[in-house]
Amino acid sequence: MAKVIGGITISLDGFVNDRNGDVGVLYPEFEAIIASDLVQDSIKTTGAVVMGRRAYEMGQGDYSQYEYQVPIFVLTHHAPETVAKGENENLSFTFVSDDAESAIAQAKAAAGDKEVMVIGGASTLQQCLKADLLDELQIGIIPVLLGDGLPMFENIGTPRSRLEKVKVIELPGGRTDIVFRVVK
């Protein structure tokens, strides 16, 4: 069965974007991070992706060069009128309007024996944490203090799971990724 991994990048003070909704400061070395062994290994082992509507819209309508060329399940209240460019025999979009459990179930079915990567945004990962749907949580921390913005660990309710540190990885731009196993 597919392992479900939640991944997100945050500032040192826990925000996923600044007060204006911009994420640019969190990806100072984006190309180098994509080229890293961590991301390249993830691309090889991922069979499906779950993301929220805001994360989907960050693709600006074109996923032809997106690193994960797998089925993508977008958790949203309303499907967009036009689907992003880039669909092919490997990459497809399914818009899921019911809940995170449904999106994860559909992604697991599509992924087969490969992993399901939940890439956010914050609301999608918060829903997965609340519903105890993650097997691992990978947090990329950028050494910047935003002071305000969208907090990652808000609205997760009463924590039900304990996290066990699996590894710590240093990446370009001062980024530190910490991988946690969700103890169930």
Domain residue ranges in the chain: 4-183
Digitized pLDDT (tens) for each residue of the chain, 184 residues in all: 789 999 999 999 999 999 999 999 999 888 898 899 989 999 999 999 999 998 898 887 789 889 999 999 999 998 888 888 888 999 999 999 999 999 999 999 999 999 999 997 899 999 999 899 999 999 999 999 999 999 998 877 766 678 999 999 999 889 999 999 999 8
Q: How many CA atoms lie within 13 A of 163 on its CB side?
A: 16
Q: Can you name the residues that pair with 165 across neighbouring β-strands?
A: 180
The predicted pLDDT at position 146 comes to 97
Residue labelled with tokens 């479900």: 4
pLDDT of residue 70: 97
CB 70 within 8 A of CB 49: yes
Cis upstream peptide for 121 (omega within 30°): yes
> CB burial class (10 A; 0-12, 13-18, 19+) of residue 163?
middle
The neighbouring-strand residues paired with 48 are 116
pTM: 0.93
Residue 117's pLDDT is: 98
Predicted pLDDT at 160: 66
In this predicted structure, what is the pLDDT of residue 173? 85
Query: How long a stretch of residues is the chain?
Result: 184
User: What pLDDT shows up at residue 159?
Assistant: 64
**Which regions of 1-146 does DSSP assign to beta strands (E)?**
4-11, 15-17, 46-52, 71-75, 92-96, 115-118, 136-142
Q: What topology is assigned to 4-183 in CATH? A: Dihydrofolate Reductase, subunit A (3.40.430)
